[in-house]
Every structure is written in structure tokens, then in C-alpha cells.
Structure 1
Amino acid sequence: MPNDFQLQQNSSTSNGSTENKAGVNVVVSFIPCVIFLYINCVMLYTLRSKPVFRETSRYLLLYNLLLAETLQMALAQMMFLIAVGMVLMTRLVCLLVFIPTIITTVISPFNLALMSLDTYVAVCFPLRHASIVTVPTTYGAIAVVWAISLANMLVKVIMLKFLDARPFGQFMSMLCTETNIFQLKIFSEFESGFVCAQFVSVGLIIIISYVGVMVAAKTASIDKVSANKASKTVLLHMIQMGLSLSSTLVNTILTGLHGKVDVITFRHLRFSLFVCLINLPRCLSCLIYGLRDKMIRPILIRHLRLGIHFKIYNFHTHDVNR
């Protein structure tokens, strides 16, 4: 039988190995997140750099989508670091951390529905598009989306205040997660109902828009090249909606696996779900829309390469001066 020293040595080795793997996971998740946050921020700056982007409905909707997803990505990375660091906090602080996460998570699917409707009107009603989809109506639609998100968050906070007897100043014995802060069964039922209603409504809007664009593409009076491009765009909206809504399954999956697998496996699964279902969908908008749009692509690439050109210029100037 191993003696106490050997047991302690094996335990410390195991703990050290676990800490090293956790550190690798943090680095692997942190570096891509920083890169995509930088690209998204450059994209946001690009969409505010010219009047045409600030005065066109589809670019306003794209800016709103990117803003929500950039905030989601930053908040998700922060929560992942808190979970890896095993940081405990009071219920009030945990709730305050999750409020912007709850708000921004709801925005993305509804914003994709608005973008699909904009594409549908542009293809099927090209002569009336300018009068139907204006900058004021676009801002109004964006305000409605934010209002729905805020209402969803307020309902949860009110339910937490009056249905959960635990004081907000109490330190949580578990990590700050949405499942741990909203523990009562009524919260999971409310969340399931809201997500189902959101999925059905947004899915119907995108499907109807896609069918309408496809039907329009077959008519002789519509530019088939533009209609085919629009149908692919709406299809991308549908795929991205599925990826966005898949992030809502992370807590359900982790809750189901908790206690059924060992700690190391659970941490690996949590890391994999974080990268694939939370970070990855938030990184696609810039790549899908920024690089496909002929007006955005050259400006975005120029802004992304500006720092590199600046460094090369300084390097050559330094050599010449020498």
C-alpha cells in the first residue's frame, strides 16, 4: 500500500496536472476571443465610419447585431474565467453580472428576423422598399427588440425578488451561473416557454422570408442574381439563428451532466461547449456579413491592416534614419 507521502505526492501531481490543463483551456479560449473581439470592434468602427452605413437600414441592423454579439462574447469570456478561477460572489453581484448577458442573448435572434424581413422587402417589393424600410422605422424596430429583451430580464428579476426567499447579500456556495442564480423550477419553465416562443416566431419569419425570396427569384421581373444572393443571405440568417439559440442549451446540458461524470471530464465538456456553442456563433457575424458585403469588405480589410501598415512604415522609417 502507498504511504502518506506517496498519496500526497500523487494528489499534488494530479492537482498540478488539472491546474495546467485548466490554464491551457483558459489560454486556448482567451486568445481566439481577443482576436474576434478585436475584429468585431473594427467592424463596429467600420459601420460608423461612413454616412452610408449610418443611413442604411441593413447596416443599422448589422451594427445592432454585432454590438449585441460583441457584448455577449466579452461577458461569456468573463464568466468562463470566473468559473475556471472558482470565484464565489454574492447573489446580487452574480445577478448584476448576468443582467446584460440575459438582455443581449435575446437580441440576436430577433435582430436576425428583422434582417430577413429587410431582405424580403428589398427583393419582393423593390419599388416600395425605400418607403417601407426607413431609418426611423429601423430604429423603431431595434427599440422594440431591446424592449422585449428588457421585459424578459425584468420579469426574471421580479420573479427572483418575490419568489426566492434567499437574501441578495448572501454569498453563493456554488459558482455564479444562470442555473445557480435562478434555481426555482418556475425559472426553467419560464425560460423554456420563452425560448420556444422565440424560436417559433423567429423561425417562421425567416422561413417565410426565405420562401418569398425563392419565389421571387423564379419570376422574370426580378434580378435573379440579386434574388439568389438574397436567398443565400436569408439561409445564413437561419443557420445563425440555430447557432445563437443553441447557446441556450449549454446550461441544460451541463446541469444534466453534473454529478454523472468526473470533475475533469466535466471541465473539458464545459470548455468544449463554451467554445463551440457560445463563442463560435458570436464570431460568425463579422465573417458572414463583413466579408460578403462589397461595400464593407474593402473598408474593413483596410482598417484591419492599418496597424500592420503602420508598424511596417515605422520599421522602414527607422531603418532609413539609421
Structure 2
Amino acid sequence: MSNATSRVGFVERIAAITLTTAFCSIIFFVNGAMLFTLRNKGVFRETARYILLFNLLLVDTLQLSISQLMFCLSAFRFTLSYPVCLLLCLLASLLTKMSPVLLVAMSLERYVAVCHPLRHASVTTVRDMAVFVCTLWSFCLSIFFSYVAVIIVARSAAADKDSPTKARNTLLLHLFQLSLCLLVGFVERIVTITLTTFSYSIIFFVNGAMLFTLRSKGVFRETARYILLFNLLLVDTLQLSVSQLMYCLSASHFTLSYPVCGFLCLFASLLTRMSPVLLVAMSLERYVAVCHPLRHASVTTVGNTAVVVYALWSFCFFTVLIQAFLFIYHYPFDQLESLQMRQLCSYNTLLLVSAGQIHHTVSTFFVFISAGLSIIFSYVGVIIVARSMATNKDTPIKARNTLLLHLFQLGLCLLSVLYITLLSKIATFFEWLVFMRLQCFLFICFILLPRGLGSLVYGLRDQSLRVLFLYHLCCHVELSVAPD
């Protein structure tokens, strides 16, 4: 009975080994044909994706061979010496770690090819790929040798084997952590970009519905307060888009050329100055409506409002032109090897000269201080008129609340100006991952949300706009809105 059982067990082992060896031979032949194909043509040997694919298939083929060898030895119950077994296990561990890091490299190569096609050829050269692959192998080999050293010490220690065993377990934990670290940075950027883009899309849709509402009726296109509100929301929407674009470029570590970066920064500077001066115009319009009601109709005509809007755009454009001239005149372009920036695009990168920094700081705070004083002046005038009126105090009270809203919006605009300065201070206190999360949070709170607050507040607060705004916001689904 025992002989029969042993013969059955032997036959089962032979069948299992034969079956796995047959599969291994087929897969080995397929992989070998693919490896030969990848080395047969020069175009494959000189293209980054095929170089990485060759290394991945080579690792898979070696891992396949070692796994099949260890399976056969286990099935035959063939024992090995400790050095040979240790060598096979650690070599299998080395190959196991090479597969995921090569997959990461291939994924990043495809990401660069699709998202940054103009830079793909310069980044994925044969030399760069060779250096990158050698770095990956060196990285895994360093972990391999560290693990070997710990195992040897653990075997040779006569007493106190707990320390080497704990060190070995710690190294295994480091292997797992390091494999995750290869993906953490990339995943962190994707998550922050996705979160900010989702918030941007919602706010952009709300602003778009409000802008469409303000252009859908003739009464809105011919009333001074709605013309100014349209320009304010248009500026907020443009600034929202430019800020989101620059945030995505920064989070992706994508560098621009100096002309493109300068254009984006100057355009953002123009929009930053437009918001407070438009708030001043809207505050003065409310001041005239309450304090000088008999002259309001003759002062706030469509023609006069258009002249004011053009004058405000011209004033802000002129200040930006001065800033552009100072940048072009003082920046040391002759010391640059090329116009491609090596740092990320931001004001801090461009405003290296003292004249540009002084002009930017002085002009920005002059606009905000003047805007604050103008809104406070309008608020005081409305309060005085409200106290002196015996009847019909609803209009001054509404105008007072509107001016308080303008003052609050001005404060939010000032926060967006201080956003970059605040980030530069925070970066010195926190590590990179924490800084990325704080940057995402501050960007949503200081840049995105204030740009969508105006549309919601004005759209829901103004009785003339409310029903039509909700109608467009809900994609032409009629809603019943209770009047105040």
C-alpha cells in the first residue's frame, strides 16, 4: 500500500512538473521571440518605450525561469545549501522589485508622450533611458545587498538574534514603503489637480450661467449696475481660468518659456487690478443712486457706463504695460542660455529686479487702498442719507448691504493677491507633501471660491436676476422661487 501511494505521489509530481514546464517553455519561447524582435531593429533599440519594454520582458523572463526552477526543486523535494537557496530567493526578490518600478517608468513615459509631446523627444533620449534603467537596477541592487548583509549577520550571530531579525523585517518594510514612494508624488499631483479642476468646473459653470443671464435680456444690457456686474464677473471668470491653468502647470512641474510665462503673469496682473476698480465703480453707482437719485438716470447712462468701463480697462492696462517695460528693460536676458525657464512660472521667478518688485507692490496696494477708501466713502454717504430719510428706508438699507458686500469682495481680492506671498512663507516650514496639500486647500479657498461667490450672491439676492439665473443654472428647468 505504501509503495502504491509513493508511486502515485511520484506520478503526480512528474505530471505537475511536466505541465508547468510545458507552460513555462511556451511562455519562455514567446518572451524570447519578443526580446529578439526588440533587439533586431535599430528603431527599437533607440526608442525609449521599447528600451523599457525590453528590460521589463527580460526581468519577467528571468523571474519566470527562477520561479520554475524553484517549483521543480520543491516538487522533487530537493534540498539546497543555505548559500544557494539564499541566492535564488534574493535574486527572485530583486526581479520582483524591478517589475513594478519598470512599469512606473513606462507609465511616466506614456504620460510625457501624451501630456507633453513637445518635450517628449528631449526627455526620453537613449542616453536618458540608459541612465534611468541603470539607476533602477542600482536602486534595487542596493536594497538587495543590504538585505543579504542583514541575513548573513543574522545567521552568524550566536546570540541576540532579535536585532538582525528586526533589521531584516525593517528592510522588508522599507522595500514596501519605497515602492509606494515611487507613486506617491505622481498620485498626489493627480489628486490635487483633479480636485481643483473639479471645483473650477463648478464655479466656471455658475459664472457662465450668470454671464449668460446678464446678456439674455435688454434691461440688463442697458442698466449701469448690470453692465458693471457683467464686467466684474467676466474678469473673475478670466482670472479663475488663468489661475487654474498656472496651478496645473505648477503642480505638474511643467516649465514655460519666458515670453509665455510673462504674458500669463501680466494678464493675471491686469485682471487682479480690474476687480477692485470695478468694485469702486459699482459702489459709486450705488452712492449716486441713493444720495443723488434725481441725477442718477442722467449720470449712469449706457454711454457713460461704457466710457467708465473703457477708462478702467485702459488704466489697468497702462499700469501693466509699465510693469512689462520694467521687466524687459531690467531682466538679464543676455545671461540666459535660452528662453526656456528652468524654474516654475510665477511672479517670484520673473520679478527679480528691484524696480519691477517696487512697481508691482506699490501699484497693487495703491489700487486696493484707493478702492477701500472709495467704498468706505460711499458707505458713509449712504448711511447719512438713510438716517436723514423719514420714509422709504428700504433703498438705502439695500444699498448699504450691497456696499458691505463690495467691501467683503475687496477683502477676498486682497487675499488672492497675498496668496503667492503666503505660499512662499509656508514652503519654508513644511515638507513637500504637506505643502502640496496646503497649496491645494489655500488655492481653493483664496482663488477659486471667491471667484464664484459673486455670481451666487448677486444672482440669488437680486430679485430681477433670481428667477432667470436659477432657470439657466438648472439647465432650463423651471423652479418656483418664493419672493422676499
TM-score normalised per structure 1: 0.90
1:166-315 aligned within 5 A: 166=333, 169-220=338-389, 223-306=392-475
- Opposite residue 241 of structure 2, the aligned amino acid is A
Please name the residue that 2:154 is paired with: none
Moved more, 173-182 or 216-225: 216-225
| Residues 284, 378 of structure 2: 8 Å contact kept | yes
Please name the residue that 1:158 is paired with: 325
Please name the residue that 1:317 is paired with: none
Aligned-partner Cα distance in 2 for 1:97–1:31? 22
Which of these residues, 128, 143, 154, is aligned with residue 4 of structure 1? 143
| Residues 323, 360 of structure 2: 8 Å contact kept | no
Aligned-partner Cα distance in 2 for 1:302–1:77? 27
Does residue 22 (structure 1) correspond to residue 185 (structure 2)? The answer is no
Please name the residue that 1:314 is paired with: none
Change (3 A) 1:259 1:142: same
Change (3 A) 1:189 1:222: farther
Please name the residue that 1:122 is paired with: 289
| Residues 236, 451 of structure 2: 8 Å contact kept | yes
Moved more, 16-25 or 127-136: 16-25
Change (3 A) 1:155 1:8: farther
CA apart distance, 1:32? 1.6
CA apart distance, 1:23? 2.0
CA apart distance, 1:19? 2.5
Moved more, 59-68 or 163-172: 163-172
Moved more, 16-25 or 197-206: 16-25
Please name the residue that 2:210 is paired with: 43
Aligned-partner Cα distance in 2 for 1:222–1:98? 50
Deviation readout 1:122-146 (Å, 9 max, x if unpaired): 0111111001221111111111211
The SS at the match of 1:127 is: helix
Aligned-partner Cα distance in 2 for 1:104–1:15? 39
The SS at the match of 2:333 is: coil
| Residues 217, 223 of structure 1: 8 Å contact kept | no
Please name the residue that 1:315 is paired with: none
The SS at the match of 1:295 is: helix
CA apart distance, 1:199? 1.8
Please name the residue that 1:66 is paired with: 233
Please name the residue that 1:133 is paired with: 300
Aligned-partner Cα distance in 1 for 2:475–2:260? 39
CA apart distance, 1:90? 1.1
CA apart distance, 1:95? 1.1
Aligned-partner Cα distance in 2 for 1:37–1:305? 14
| Residues 88, 172 of structure 1: 8 Å contact kept | yes
Aligned-partner Cα distance in 2 for 1:290–1:184? 43
CA apart distance, 1:298? 0.6
Deviation readout 1:14-53 (Å, 9 max, x if unpaired): 2422332322222221112101101111111111111101
Moved more, 186-195 or 26-35: 186-195
The SS at the match of 1:128 is: helix
Aligned-partner Cα distance in 1 for 2:208–2:325? 34
| Residues 42, 300 of structure 1: 8 Å contact kept | yes
Deviation readout 1:204-254 (Å, 9 max, x if unpaired): 110011111111111235620111111000000000001011111111112
Aligned-partner Cα distance in 2 for 1:277–1:109? 16
Aligned-partner Cα distance in 2 for 1:306–1:232? 30
Does residue 145 (structure 1) correspond to residue 312 (structure 2)? The answer is yes
Aligned-partner Cα distance in 2 for 1:265–1:148? 40
When the two chains are superposed, the root-mean-square deviation of aligned CA atoms in Å is 1.9
CA apart distance, 1:79? 0.8
Please name the residue that 1:319 is paired with: none
| Residues 206, 456 of structure 2: 8 Å contact kept | no
Aligned-partner Cα distance in 1 for 2:255–2:281? 39
Higher relative contact order (CA 8 A, sep 6+): 1
CA apart distance, 1:303? 1.3
CA apart distance, 1:196? 2.0
| Residues 203, 448 of structure 2: 8 Å contact kept | no
Moved more, 112-121 or 195-204: 195-204
1:50-89 aligned within 5 A: 50-89=217-256
Which of these residues, 263, 274, 282, is aligned with residue 96 of structure 1? 263
CA apart distance, 1:9? 4.8
CA apart distance, 1:82? 0.6
Unmatched segments (≥5 aa) in structure 1: 310-322
- Opposite residue 237 of structure 1, the aligned amino acid is H
Aligned-partner Cα distance in 2 for 1:113–1:34? 28
Moved more, 295-304 or 177-186: 177-186
Change (3 A) 1:226 1:177: same
Aligned-partner Cα distance in 2 for 1:99–1:130? 37
- Opposite residue 154 of structure 1, the aligned amino acid is L
Moved more, 79-88 or 15-24: 15-24
CA apart distance, 1:96? 2.0
Deviation readout 1:58-85 (Å, 9 max, x if unpaired): 0000000000000011111111111111
Aligned-partner Cα distance in 1 for 2:391–2:352? 53
